Chain A
Amino acid sequence: GAGVSQSPSNKVTEKGKDVELRCDPISGHTALYWYRQSLGQGLEFLIYFQGNSAPDKSGLPSDRFSAERTGGSVSTLTIQRTQQEDSAVYLCASSYRGKGEKLFFGSGTQLSVL
């Protein structure tokens, strides 16, 4: 596609429910990143995928968070048993190879946990 696409753009859920956030990277980009942006804070790294290599999950804040990338393209970030502190904007980015290159970001998913 023309850019990184994320869906949904907004998600409101109740505490304790599971949510799935989707990211479609730019075609041909092998590197995919997930970040979390809380109000007034810098972007927080969550997870990094590069080609067929094992993902770097070191930024995931708890075992309630998981992500997968199918076929080296679309990625899904899943948050189980959501908590109010999970409320934030979740941003996905992709780059050609993931080596010091420009990142292209999607518009994010605004998650609100009530």
Chain B
Amino acid sequence: KNQVEQSPQSLIILEGKNCTLQCNYTVSPFSNLRWYKQDTGRGPVSLTIMTFSENTKSNGRYTATLDADTKQSSLHITASQLSDSASYICVVGSGAGSYQLTFGKGTKLSVIP
């Protein structure tokens, strides 16, 4: 069964600090890995999408890494802001060109002043 596990479940950091969120997956065949940000009461918003051949991708202060050998990904947030408070969801796509996605349960990040 395809699974995506995220850690930690929740995290509290001070504004301006950096943090790293983890994602481990057992999805086969692997197609792509995505990170989404979900604000409370809103739908998820795409941050990055990486294919098998990509091992890092940035979107502003967000940098995602992918190690397809160990089936791990991380999302690094630099110089956190209060607006970064949200749930961050790791999503893995399976099959070439497939729409099949497996979602993690998310990491709830709280950035405090």
Contact = CB atoms under 8 A, between A and B. Distances in A.
A34 interface: no
Nearest to B102: A42
Contacts, number: 56
A42 B43 contact: no
A24 B60 CA distance: 30
B84 to A, nearest CB: 19
Contacts of A100: 31-32, 49, 51, 93, 96-99
A46 interface: no
In this complex, the member of A56, A99, A100, A105 whose beta carbon has the largest number of chain B beta carbons within 10 angstroms is A100
B42 A107 contact: yes
Report, as a range, how many residues of chain A touch the other chain. Answer: 20 to 34
A50 interface: yes
Nearest to B3: A42
Contacts of A48: 99
B29 interface: no
Interface string A37-61: 0001111110010100000100000
Contact of A102 (B46, B89, B98, B104): B46
A77 interface: no
B46 A103 contact: yes
A105 B49 CA distance: 15
A25 interface: no
Contact of A42 (B4, B34, B42): B4
A91 B105 contact: no
Contacts of B34: 102
Nearest to A43: B103
B79 interface: no
A35 to B, nearest CB: 8
Contacts of B41: 107
11 contacts: A42-B89, A42-B102, A44-B103, A45-B100, A100-B93, A100-B96, A101-B49, A105-B44, A106-B43, A107-B43, A108-B43
Given A91-B43, A102-B46, A105-B45, 9 more contacts: A31-B99, A33-B99, A42-B102, A42-B106, A91-B44, A98-B99, A100-B51, A102-B34, A103-B101
